[in-house]
Structure 1
Amino acid sequence: MRQKIIMDVDTGIDDSLGLLYLLACDDAEIVGIASTAGNVPARRVAANNLALLDLCRAPAVEVALGADTPLAIPLRTTEDTHGPQGIGYAELPPSPRPLSPRTAARMWVDLVREHPGEIIGLCTGPLTNLALALRIEPQLPLLLKRLVVMGGAFDHPGNTTPTSEWNVHVDPEAWKEVFDAFGAAHAHPRPLVCGLDVTETIEMFPAHLTRLAEVAESLPAQEVSETDPPGSRSKASNPIVRFLTDAVRFYFEFHQQYDQGYLAHMHDPFAAAVALDPTLAVTRPATVDVELTGTLTRGATVADRSGMWGREPNADIVIGTDPAVFFERMIDKVGTFARAVYPPER
């Protein structure tokens, strides 16, 4: 049975791989894509989502525009991490597909009301749209099948401030509203949280791209190296492989610039894989809250695992996984999908 999924994304290099992963999975049915401001502004996110659907020759999927700004603070974007368009060095033509006439928050609410208990919510960006949806429909936590989010850092340094992960840093008020709402609703299963402490172990290297291109039967043989001139472009015959290579190369160069190695953390496709198959993750229940007033710690995700606050757990935090199993699955699914969408010439 195909699992219905609402994606809420700020596409974003790794968000785009998460979208590709779900499109490649026969057991996933994307029923809506909410475009949230984060890595780039919301309208750019929406344009990226529509163009990616074109690239993948996907059937019609509703893409809704989210809020332009976070709930309480100005928007901060990160083109230095994801490129001026949010997809690294990749370039995609504008899509003729229309945007949804309804807002992202309204799409969330309408879809979960239409399919109670059937939809998995997957959020790989700031939670602005979901927080706004909760204000419209407080019962949303009980209408979802489950919520899976990528964000936060638990017993681990942040990647935006010393204590804050990017998605939370952009709109900490929204994250707090979401955790509070799901806790108050006693949602079961609890939201599943993929934080930096695990997603930074999901390290993509050039060899992963080479293997994916081989599965796609894309030519010439795909090789990406840290010795390549910065900004080199792929000549891959398969358009999906070419897109991935140009997008991820930018991400490799960004991580290398910050002394993390010629690699890329695949936060969002990991969360997408966990949304479809939670057995990929080892989890631990906790009560999660978000710091809003700390002078040095605003945006920190704080987890009470021992019941010190006297509050029931409101999340299951991912505390472990096997990255090799994830990459094997991703390479097989996305590579096979790329070959099916663009069959090699014989």
Structure 2
Amino acid sequence: MMVKTPIIIDTDPGVDDIVALLFALASPEIEIIAIIVSYGNTDLESCYRNIFKAYQAVSREVETHPQAAERFPNMFSDVKTILARGSDGPLEGDLHGAQYFHGRDGLSGIHERHPELDVSDMSHPQITVSEEHGVDLALRLVEASKDRSITYVVLGPLTNLARMMHKNRDLVTSKLGRVVSMGGALDVPGNTNPVAEFNYFADPYAVKELLCPHDPSTGFPLDRFFMVPLDITTPHELPFPAYKAQVDNAFESAAKPSVASDKSPLRHFTSSFLERTRMVMLEFGKDAMELHDIVAVWFALANTGPLSPGWGVSKRVFDIERTGELTRGMLVVDRRSDESAYALGANRAEVQAQLEKATTEHHPHEDFAVQVQVETAADVDKTDAAGVLSVNQTPGPEVLLQMLLERIWGVGKKIEGK
């Protein structure tokens, strides 16, 4: 019998978060013991409501197609998922959202364009609603757990985890297992401003406290924190032509809204929020959705002990900009401390040209050669170098895409040309 890893999902449900949640519900490797809803992609209450939209869409799918129940083990687990509201704003500073991408409701305005998919009854048989604050709930679950058995997956800002540390640092640092955080941009441009990824932009103060405090002993133990930055998530995509070919042949964009009678309930649900996402992404010149949060969930379910084949991490040292007028949320990497960094005063164009000629692999956005890969968690723990464990290799975008198609929508034929 498979031993499932208990996880707490800390999320601000926007478009990719909901796909990540559906992926988690369809993954037998994990047990979702709690979901803590945070502000982020939109306001807290809209994010909270989106959890029920996802659960009810899966329930309608199973009611219509009973065989689909096999695809969603976490919808029929003996362990009900506890749902609680978490933080509604950052530790400090202004509140920022990402409604420009996710829509005011977090799901591309789905309640306006598809009112049949809105929820009036915020309940579900697999969810236990808690009025406890998400921070207190998480602390209680960690305290009651076997030491370091729970994996804490953060798909939004790190605010709730920082507040858990404020309330009971000893408990969190001694008993919480791995933290997997989708966030940050190290060697690539940001997606919120030129240099920052949204989740770390939303609360840079929490990132500072947890990952790069002035006194390292006050932060979260870095040997159990895994950052999944834009550097590795961006190449993982759900191409919309592939979605149309394999999932929903009637899928277009918001200009031609999904019709419920044309497809199964789950396909109608996902198409109804992806149709606007497609329009937004096309404005950026890409006919695909980037799978940022989905990669973080994938890492969590695939790596419960030593790193599985195909995965790699490296230790990265950085600080974070909290108050910059143009650079809030930027991970500031001191290139001078890296042996392979450009020498001070070097001509960057000439160095880049030499790197391109070299046999060593080199990413076009990096200022240095490939980072040292860590094969197992045990190897990570034995190293003395400071730094945050940053995921820099996965089994590949194609592997994740096939997993999503099979697990969420029950299709798995190889995509032509992919």
User: TM over 0.5: same fold?
Assistant: yes
Percent sequence identity over matched residues? 26
Larger radius of gyration: 2
* Residue equivalent to 2:404: 330
* Higher mean C-alpha displacement, 8-17 vs 238-247: 238-247
Q: Does 1:224 align with 2:251?
A: yes
* Residue equivalent to 2:119: 93
* Residue equivalent to 1:218: none
Name which of 164, 179, 184 aligns with 2:196: 164
Name which of 273, 286, 292 aligns with 2:322: 292
* Residue equivalent to 1:264: 289
* Residue equivalent to 1:344: none
Q: Deviations over 1:79-137 (max 9, x none)?
A: 22012211125333233326412111111211111113111110011111111111112
SS in structure 1 at match of 2:185: coil
In structure 2, stretches of 5+ residues that fail to align are: 60-74, 111-116, 339-383, 412-418
Q: What TM-score do the two structures reach when normalised by structure 1? A: 0.86
SS in structure 1 at match of 2:101: helix
Distance 1:95 1:51, change over 3 A: farther
Distance in 2 between residues matched to 1:167 and 1:28, nearest whole Å:
24
CA displacement at 1:188 relative to structure 2: 6.4
* Residue equivalent to 2:415: none
* Residue equivalent to 1:317: 390
CA displacement at 1:233 relative to structure 2: 1.7
Distance in 2 between residues matched to 1:15 and 1:198, nearest whole Å:
17
Distance 1:212 1:112, change over 3 A: farther
Q: Does 1:119 align with 2:153?
A: no
Distance in 2 between residues matched to 1:319 and 1:66, nearest whole Å:
30
| 2:313–2:391 Cα contact (<8 Å) kept | yes
| 2:190–2:196 Cα contact (<8 Å) kept | yes
Distance in 2 between residues matched to 1:168 and 1:315, nearest whole Å:
14
Distance 1:194 1:186, change over 3 A: closer
Distance in 2 between residues matched to 1:4 and 1:305, nearest whole Å:
38
Distance 1:211 1:3, change over 3 A: farther
CA displacement at 1:166 relative to structure 2: 0.7
Q: Deviations over 1:133-184 (max 9, x none)?
A: 1111213133222110101001111111111111111111012122147953
Distance in 2 between residues matched to 1:42 and 1:179, nearest whole Å:
25
Q: Deviations over 1:10-49 (max 9, x none)?
A: 0000000111001001121111111110111111111111
After TM superposition, list the pairs within 5 Å mapping 1:3-18 onto structure 2.
3-18=5-20
CA displacement at 1:212 relative to structure 2: 5.3
| 2:254–2:275 Cα contact (<8 Å) kept | no
Counterpart of 1:302, as a letter, is V
Q: What TM-score do the two structures reach when normalised by structure 2? A: 0.72
In structure 1, stretches of 5+ residues that fail to align are: 214-220, 338-346
* Residue equivalent to 1:205: 239
| 2:135–2:164 Cα contact (<8 Å) kept | yes
SS in structure 2 at match of 1:105: helix
Counterpart of 1:270, as a letter, is V
